[in-house]
Amino acid sequence: MAEGAAAKEAPAPPEAAGAEDDPRLGPDAASADDLAVGAAGRTKDRRRVVLPGAVGTPTDGEAGLLEAARATPRRSSIIKDPANQKCGGRKKTVSFSSMPSEKKISSASDCISFMQAGCELKKVRPNSRIYNRFFTLDTDLQALRWEPSKKDLEKAKLDIAAIKEIRLGKNTETFRNNGLADQICEDCAFSILHGENYESLDLVANSADVANIWVSGLRYLVSRSKQPLDFMEDNQNTPRFMWLKTVFEAADVDGNGIMLEDTSVELIKQLNPTLKESKIRLKFKEIQKSKEKLTTRVTEEEFCEAFCELCTRPEVYFLLVQISKNKEYLDANDLMLFLEAEQGVTNITEDMCLDIIRRYEFSEEGRQKGFLAIDGFTQYLLSPECDIFDPEQKKVAQDMTQPLSHYYINASHNTYLIEDQFRGPADINGYVRALKMGCRSIELDVSDGPDNEPILCNRNNMTTHLSFRSVIEVINKFAFVASEYPLILCLGNHCSLPQQRVMVQHIKKILAGKLYTEAPLPSESYLPSPEKLKRKIIVKGKKLPSDSDVLEGEVTDEDEEAEMSRRMSVDHNGEQKQIWLCRELSDLVSICKSVQCRDFELSMKSQNYWEMCSFSETEASRIVNEYPEDFVNYNKKFLSRIYPSAMRIDSSNLNPQDFWNCGCQIVAMNFQTPGPMMDLHTGWFLQNGGCGYVLRPSIMRDEVSYFSANTKGIVPGVSPLALHIKIISGQNFPKPKGACAKGDVIDPYVCVEIHGIPADCSEQRTKTVQQNSDNPIFDETFEFQINLPELAMIRFVVLDDDYIGDEFIGQYTIPFECLQPGYRHVPLRSFVSDVMEHVTLFVHIAITNRSGGGKAPKRSLSVRMGKKVREYTMLRNIGLKTIDDIFKIAVHPLREAIDMRENMQNAIVSVKELCGLPPIASLKQCLLTLSSRLITSDNTPSVSLVMKDNFPYLEPLGVIPDVQKKMLAAYDLMIQENRVLIEMADAVHEKIVQCQKTGMEFHEELNNLGAKEGLKGRKLNKATESFAWNITVLKGQGDLLRSAKNEAIENMKQIQLACLSCGLSKAPSTSAEPKGKRSLEAIEEKKEICEERGKP
């Protein structure tokens, strides 16, 4: 009877869990690390590593817990943490695949063998005491035992038959209420629930790998407790071994049962191309040496053994066992649940799962019978189908009909350079590269050339130049290869009038119909959209006054670097250099006329929408720091271009995020200079199909909205999200370039960087894994709060831990909005951003709500913010009574909206906690776990699904135990809170929207009303800012409530489907199925009505 394990989870009585054990808290107690191998100094020599075991002297109490928590993820900088430096006597951490000589976990029998050998684990008691105990599994597989203990040896044990459930992570009351639980690594903790009252034995391993072995082995034993445990003898008859035998026999042309080592090596390399030949040969030598063989010929058994040890990734094996309910393969139902619950795939069918099995399973038997073994599952996880990047974002997925000023635009600086700007030569490949990378704003600095032909050159290096004509021809050829959206030519004109006219001739003749020269309409207020400007080339430059008929005239110079130099010079008098411009070239400029920006207030009043300003990095940085809100408001209507400081003679790059945060659309980058800043730029523009245009967040586009890039906390009207990233393992890390003195081995670690608004910027790093490049296991989980998801990016960086300086191995940068949830492989890129074949990070991604709403259903999981006072987004006082009275009406509806969302989220999390699941678990996982508890002793459900007003309630089928009553009470509360939100959201949303509309009626008159009340200058600006804040809050909270209602409707649908699939419906009857279908249809219809109306 697997009822609500967490309902009680009481500490085990003395006869069950060793309550009599006394902690040894003496000051002289020595600490020990079960998995540490002592090493004096840092060595790079290969060593033989055995499976983790129990070594050293146990330590109890807080010191023991702190030691157990050493693997806890810690915040650190790219600058190395001194505590992590290598020094004499530092212990070496062993991972499962450190060296070819290791014995890997590749089957259930390996887990059982390890458990029988035993290891040290730490027992966590409800009183916060910690005990180091040596745990073993009996040879007859019937009980767990631990020592030392004051009990009789026959009582210091736990029968396997008494185990109800095994939980990975800190998911019991003992862990949740332990004062030092925060210092225990989530991935190292696990609990064994046993007895009719679901008492818990809470343990901490010294690594996540050891915890996984115990959890996998115990689950395997419990699931087979009623079957003969003969799997250890049948290990050679598994589907995997049968397939490998078939492969071996096909290659054994002589049929002698043996083959040359060279043939065996080549065969394994064909099956797994990522393996190094030297590693395969070393493995064969180890196997043969262990058998004291003199010959190098390989038998079938040796071939299978070598393949399994070399090609089994332990972390993938543990995952497979977990999701297959302790089998060593996945069937279609297992795969379907994995895709739905973990990977966030919607509308998955059994046929789709069978198709995946047929495409990725290696064995013919598996393809025919419909199961996916470890090798096929590994292959599937490495396939593009499990890539971390959302496939929807690999095509244009955003609204492209907004004004041009509402998009970030992929932009290049000094496009003609492929080296530094101080002495690098001009090269036509600079344009080819930029355009192929989706760049939509390129620069052409044109000067007078010989034979009356304009040229492009680096004026610091005149030895090489490009003809203007050849550059225009290349642009014409490659302009729309990577993107069909408009291309902006930023024209730096340094030519005489005659050569300007030659430029015009080339542009008109070569670009012809692609050139956009339509005059802007004064009746419009915003620039045309990228959709309207498809396959058009726009010239940005100076323009003569349109009300003059002169054929030529003077304009200010566009030479940015020269202007910066003049400003920095001692004798600069503030005057701008003037150049002559011909009318023909002026007429090519239409909607991107270059002007100088002197003051935001003046520009907002007098600047035309087709005019744009360029800011130097220095000037823009000052504005970002001093006037971030004004910069955002300015960029709602006008284009801003930011170019690097002239002091960057090495062509280094500025940080584009600083300017994107203020809405600057065109941040010009030196494409020829790789590094972290270019990684951010390249990663950012991968989204939206790599078309070079990314829609800015609505809070930075709406005419009346408030946003400051320097916000320290929650953005008004935006729901913060929690990003959970687990770095599991790495694959095939190359040796850093230039690291030839280090030998063939590396000590990798992973940094996870969050880039976005300052409140979101953060960084965490994993531990260092010693001497492992093939498959280092990290198993560390990090959590980040993301306040503005639409501007956030995640950068994974792999470095080699070294004395002198940590060396770069690989990186991958991805926009937050492009993340796919679940188990994913991250394809690492080199320093110059090239994809490295077979070099990946294996991670788990989960995105959960902090306070409700804001994400698509597959990401809108729930997590409680913690036991603290509920925070409400407050409206600001404007100082104008008429308007303030209107906003006061919205205070109560806003509180109602937040309460309904928070109550729903908290109720869901409570059910997850009772099920022993983490907050990132899906509702389907929750219901599957719940249903396993709500059964009677004869394996029949103790509850039944009953639809009341189209809501899925569970009713008991008789008297049920207290633990089940507690779970049902939590379930009923969850349904009730979802129901309240669904039924009440319409009315509350209407009140919020009405206040927003009424407030907006005063928008145009705000300045006049302020003047009448005596507000002027700074006070009037503050009133305007507060008005925009309130409108932003009302709109945002209305949107969040709408999203929360859609989420609640989806919750009810998923819960009903899960209940039906778990067999919690009443005994079959002729009307049961149609009724269930009608209920699902009603829920679906309700959701569709909400979406059509655009409101809850």
How do 611-616 and 640-643 pair as beta strands? parallel
Strand-pairing partners, residue 132, are 122
Segments in 806-890 forming alpha helices (H): 881-888
Give the type of residue at 365.
Answer: E
Q: Give residues with Cβ within 8 angstroms of 714, minimum separation 6.
A: 720, 787, 871, 873
Strand-pairing partners, residue 824, are 843
Q: Give residues with Cβ within 8 angstroms of 773, minimum separation 6.
A: 732, 733, 734, 735, 744, 745, 746, 748
The answer to whether residues 536 and 486 touch, using CB atoms and an 8 Å cutoff, is yes
**Rama region for 17: left / alpha / beta (φ>0; ψ in -120 to 50; rest):** alpha
Distances, alpha carbon 701 to alpha carbons 527, 554, 636, 704, 854, in Å: 13, 36, 5, 9, 18
What's the confidence (pLDDT) of residue 404?
Answer: 96
Q: Give residues with Cβ within 8 angstroms of 281, minimum separation 6.
A: 261, 265
DSSP label of 513: G
The answer to whether residues 323 and 338 touch, using CB atoms and an 8 Å cutoff, is yes
How do 748-755 and 36-37 pair as beta strands? unpaired
How many C-beta atoms surround the C-beta of residue 147 within 10 A? 13
Pairwise CA distance, residues 74 & 80, whole Å: 12
How do 143-147 and 748-755 pair as beta strands? unpaired
Query: The tokens 């802007």 sit on which residue?
Result: 520
Q: Give residues with Cβ within 8 angstroms of 377, minimum separation 6.
A: 316, 320, 330, 360
CA dihedral 257, 262, 268, 270 (to 10 degrees): -120
pLDDT tens-digit series, residues 587-635: 999 999 999 887 888 888 889 999 999 999 999 999 999 999 999 999 9
Query: The tokens 């393969």 sit on which residue?
Result: 329
748: tokens are 């990798």
Residues in the chain: 1096
Distances, alpha carbon 351 to alpha carbons 335, 355, 617, 1062, in Å: 11, 6, 55, 20
The CA angle 955-961-964, to the nearest 5 degrees, is: 55
Half-sphere exposure of residue 1092, counting CA atoms within 13 Å on the CB side?
A: 6
Residues of the chain predicted below pLDDT 50: 1-102, 226, 228-233, 568, 570, 741, 851-868, 1067-1077, 1095-1096
In the three-class reduction of DSSP (H, G, I as helix; E, B as strand; rest coil), residue 296 is classed as coil
The answer to whether residues 791 and 761 touch, using CB atoms and an 8 Å cutoff, is no
The answer to whether residues 1056 and 947 touch, using CB atoms and an 8 Å cutoff, is yes
Pairwise CA distance, residues 888 & 894, whole Å: 10
pLDDT tens-digit series, residues 662-713: 999 999 999 989 999 999 999 999 999 999 999 999 999 998 888 888 887 7
The answer to whether residues 93 and 39 touch, using CB atoms and an 8 Å cutoff, is no
Q: Give residues with Cβ within 8 angstroms of 180, minimum separation 6.
A: 62, 65, 66, 69, 128, 130
H or E element, residue 373? strand 371-373
H or E element, residue 932? helix 923-933
H or E element, residue 466? strand 461-467
Q: Give residues with Cβ within 8 angstroms of 741, minimum separation 6.
A: none
In the three-class reduction of DSSP (H, G, I as helix; E, B as strand; rest coil), residue 421 is classed as coil
Pairwise CA distance, residues 137 & 142, whole Å: 8
Give the type of residue at 579.
Answer: I
What's the confidence (pLDDT) of residue 738?
Answer: 67
What's the confidence (pLDDT) of residue 864?
Answer: 36
- Nearest residue to 852 (alpha-carbon basis) of 825, 872, 869: 872
The answer to whether residues 747 and 768 touch, using CB atoms and an 8 Å cutoff, is yes
Distances, alpha carbon 948 to alpha carbons 953, 954, 972, in Å: 7, 10, 12
Distance between start and end Cα atoms, the chain? 41
Pairwise CA distance, residues 662 & 700, whole Å: 8
Measured in whole angstroms, the distance separating CA 99 from the mean position of its chain's CA atoms is 30
Phi, psi of 256 (to 5 degrees): -90, -5
User: Crossing angle for the helix pair 374-382 and 350-360, nearest 10 degrees?
Assistant: 100
What's the confidence (pLDDT) of residue 67?
Answer: 44
H or E element, residue 1037? helix 1018-1061
Strand-pairing partners, residue 122, are 132, 204
What's the confidence (pLDDT) of residue 870?
Answer: 66
Pairwise CA distance, residues 369 & 363, whole Å: 10
Phi, psi of 937 (to 5 degrees): -65, -25
Query: The tokens 């081995």 sit on which residue?
Result: 745
Pairwise CA distance, residues 1083 & 857, whole Å: 15
H or E element, residue 212? helix 208-223
599: tokens are 């003051």
H or E element, residue 1008? helix 1006-1012
Segments in 395-496 forming alpha helices (H): 429-436, 468-478
**Rama region for 110: left / alpha / beta (φ>0; ψ in -120 to 50; rest):** alpha
In the three-class reduction of DSSP (H, G, I as helix; E, B as strand; rest coil), residue 313 is classed as coil
Beta strands in 560-711 (DSSP E): 578-582, 589-595, 611-616, 640-643, 666-669, 693-695
Pairwise CA distance, residues 471 & 442, whole Å: 11
- Strand order from edge to edge, sheet including 143-147: 157-159, 143-147, 130-137, 119-124, 199-204, 189-194, 163-168
What's the confidence (pLDDT) of residue 77?
Answer: 34
355: tokens are 């198709």
pLDDT tens-digit series, residues 859-897: 333 333 334 456 777 888 988 888 999 999 999 999 999
Pairwise CA distance, residues 83 & 69, whole Å: 15
The answer to whether residues 68 and 122 touch, using CB atoms and an 8 Å cutoff, is yes
Query: The tokens 């021809």 sit on which residue?
Result: 473
Measured in whole angstroms, the distance separating CA 205 from the mean position of its chain's CA atoms is 27
Q: Give residues with Cβ within 8 angstroms of 590, minimum separation 6.
A: 516, 517, 518, 519, 520, 538, 539, 610
What's the confidence (pLDDT) of residue 1092?
Answer: 52
pTM score of the predicted model:
0.81
Give the type of residue at 280.
Answer: I
